[in-house]
Amino acid sequence: MNKNVNLAVDIAGIKMQNPVATASGTFGFGNEYADYVDLSRLGALVVKGTTLHPRQGNPPPRIEETPCGILNAIGLQNPGIETVVNEILPHLQNKNVPVIVNISGDTPADYAKLAQKLNNSCAAGIEVNISCPNVKKGGLQFGSDPESAAEVAGAVKASTNLPVIIKLSPNVSSIVKVAEKVARAGADALSMINTLLGMKIDINTMRPSLGNNFGGLSGPAVKPVAVRSVWQVYREIDLPIIGIGGITTAEDALEFIMAGASVVAVGTGNFINPTATMDIIENLEKYLIDNDIADIKDLIGRAH
């Protein structure tokens, strides 16, 4: 690392040596990529979405390629919070990288219980997936209703001393309104965006291609939507932002940072290039050196 430039950032008290993280659901629990990536060089490791109890996920097919992206309907397959806290997180402690745990629940009480169970773990923060169906409101996503989103944010915040990062859904009429509500409810930071709801139909079988019919669209196709979302929220809400959506190169990362993100998370890009995070870190440093910029933080929100 060149001593003349600084890539270090701090988001909601989580100190990162650089602004490059992994996006939940695309990097497993970290060790799956250990043969390709030096985990200790990451800014942060955001692990796979975790629920109160183990989940098998949705029936296959669960992933379909689309132009410039993929549709996924994994269905939050995971071993459950007890296994994550007792078996997985302890193995990540020696990686010397902040670990952020993504949580998903069916009710605000579920989210609160998950947050409580992480209090005595090595987690550096909690990312709250509000793109989950609220079972008490007929399956409507928490993230699509500002009041429901705020209820979850408040429940998690009241249950933990860890930084609370709310991951916003793009499947809303106004992402700024949702951001406002969760900010008032106590959120410490925001992640944006989660996947866009999409669908693909097999014209030979005349059936949906995914076993769950619908899936989340991610990859380069969603990047313009994500950059726009970060731009809008950064100008209205005084919370740090983790930018997510179609980041595969340092140029992509810089767009998000200049739009207002303090940190970027690489998701589908990891499937295309397993060393994408390492390449982006190196090329961000090169950009600072080439443009005589001393600190990456000087670029946050720079676009105007």
Active site residues: 132
CA–CA gap between residue 204 and residue 187 (Å, rounded)? 46
20: nearest Cα among 250, 286, 223? 250
CA–CA gap between residue 201 and residue 214 (Å, rounded)? 10
CA–CA gap between residue 109 and residue 158 (Å, rounded)? 11
Exposure string of 220-250, with b = 16+ CB inside 10 Å and e = fewer, is bbbbebbbebbbbbbeebebbbbbbbbbbbb
| Beta strand segments in the chain, E | 9-11, 14-16, 20-22, 45-50, 63-66, 69-72, 99-103, 125-129, 164-167, 189-192, 196-199, 201-202, 207-208, 214-218, 241-244, 263-266
